[in-house]
Amino acid sequence: MGFVVAVVGATGAVGREMLATLEKRRFPVSEIVALASPRSAGQKLTFNGKETTIKATTAEAFKGVQIALFSAGASVAREMGPAAAAAGAVVIDNSSAWRQDAQCPLVIPEVNAAAIKDRPRGIIANPNCSTIQMLVALKPLHDAATLRHIIVSTYQATSGKGHAAVEDLLQQARALANGQPVKPTIFPGQMAQNLLCDWKPSAMEGGEGYSEEETKMVFETQKIMGDLTIGVSPTCVRVPVVNAHSESIHARFARPITVEEAKSLLRNAPGVVLDERPYAPGAHPQPIQASGKDEVFVGRIRRDFTDPNALNLWVVGDNLLKGAALNAVQIAERVIAE
């Protein structure tokens, strides 16, 4: 049995990854409906060896669609998500539009797959890329020892800001190499050979001084884990890496947990690759190794010097795959399994 699947934002970085992931995982697609902005309508793309014409994203375009994967931004998701759901599609949205809606489950299949079934709006939200990889790594530990507080610092790749941001980084790097002035086109300042906090200020109540990326990690963690008492203290930073996010995580639990227990829990955890190499320069998960991979890589698990209930970890994952496209397709796989 095949399904009619729409990909909204098909020409974007994540949209293209969604199409590639559907192909790679042999999702049972009987027809692909590639949707994008009106300026992209009429362009061609290839899916499963067949040429497909991109159409403009309109309510009428969802007629007959059973699964709609959205990666076109929050404004498009708010307007067209309900239209797709009204047409009979199960909507899986990668933007922030529906994450805080109580009637839309926020899902990481390795963490809270059961939430998929409760979707009154017909819309399932894909979490933020940084939240996804963090919770894939922490869920097995949470199940065993109960998370109390997470302190996380992210090192986020430029691809998380889109293809144009990657081009901006590369252009800046070329300018520096040639002794020319840097002229940012996407970033708010120099990205090459630099670090930036480049997200909008948070609009969350009490979130003064935080970026929206940081407060997303707070709310999303509590919603996905189903526990509003879990504390999250985030600092999000953009780094001059093309792809794959990294995170330094301090996790405090309700009881003492040893390094060996944590490794035992993570060795066979779904979606996790555990790096057990002893510390040495360069012996740790790296963005260049995680880019293009489906799994979340976890390494440098260390006891905390001052708190027996805490561990420190290093977590790396491909933000376009598990952080976006792959997670959405995995949700779709669970939906059709129903």
pLDDT digits (tens, 9 = 90+) for 227-277: 999 999 999 999 999 999 999 999 999 999 999 999 999 999 999 999 999
pLDDT at position 319: 97
pLDDT at position 91: 98
Calculate what percentage of the chain has a pLDDT beyond 90: 96
Contact call for residues 101 and 299 (beta carbons, < 8 A): no
CATH class of the region 3-126+324-337: alpha beta
pLDDT at position 256: 98
pLDDT at position 111: 98
Long-range contacts of 298-302 (CB under 8 A, 24+ apart): 298/137, 298/266, 298/272, 298/273, 298/274, 299/274, 299/275, 300/275, 301/259, 301/262, 301/263, 301/266, 302/259
Q: What is the average pLDDT value for the chain, to the nearest integer?
A: 96
State the number of CA atoms in the 13 A half-sphere of 243 facing the CB: 19
Catalytic residue list: 129, 245
Paired with 238 in beta bridges are 156, 196
User: Which of the four pLDDT bands, split at 50, 70 and 90, describes residue 205?
Assistant: confident
**Distance in angstroms (rounded) separating the CA atoms of residues 210 and 41:** 38
pLDDT at position 262: 98
User: pLDDT tens digit string along 273-287?
Assistant: 999 999 999 999 999
19, pLDDT greater than 90: yes
Q: Which are the contacts of 324, defined by CB distance < 8 A and separation ≥ 6?
A: 14, 17, 71, 94, 126, 129
| Protein fold of 131-319 | Dihydrodipicolinate Reductase; domain 2 (3.30.360)
pLDDT at position 112: 97
Q: Is the dihedral of CA 282, 151, 295, 309 positive or negative?
A: positive
User: Which of the four pLDDT bands, split at 50, 70 and 90, describes residue 329?
Assistant: very high
pLDDT at position 264: 98
119, pLDDT greater than 90: yes
The whole-number average pLDDT for the span 197-222 is 94
The whole-number average pLDDT for the span 141-147 is 98
Instruction: Tell me the backbone φ, ψ of residue 190, rounded to 5 degrees.
Output: -65, 125
User: Strand 67-70 vs strand 44-47: parallel, antiparallel, or unpaired?
Assistant: unpaired
CB neighbours of residue 55 within 10 Å: 19
pLDDT at position 338: 83
206, pLDDT greater than 90: no
User: Which of the four pLDDT bands, split at 50, 70 and 90, describes residue 1?
Assistant: confident
Q: Report the alpha-carbon angle 228-232-238, nearest 5.
A: 140
pLDDT at position 207: 85
Among 145-154, 163-172, 200-209, the least confident range: 200-209
**What pTM was estimated for this model as a whole?**
0.95
Q: Report the alpha-carbon angle 24-14-112, nearest 5.
A: 75
58, pLDDT greater than 90: yes
Q: Decide if 3-126+324-337 and 131-319 have a common fold.
A: no
User: In the chain, what are the domain boundaries?
Assistant: 3-126+324-337, 131-319
Q: Report the alpha-carbon angle 246-250-256, nearest 5.
A: 140
**Distance in angstroms (rounded) separating the CA atoms of residues 257 and 58:** 52
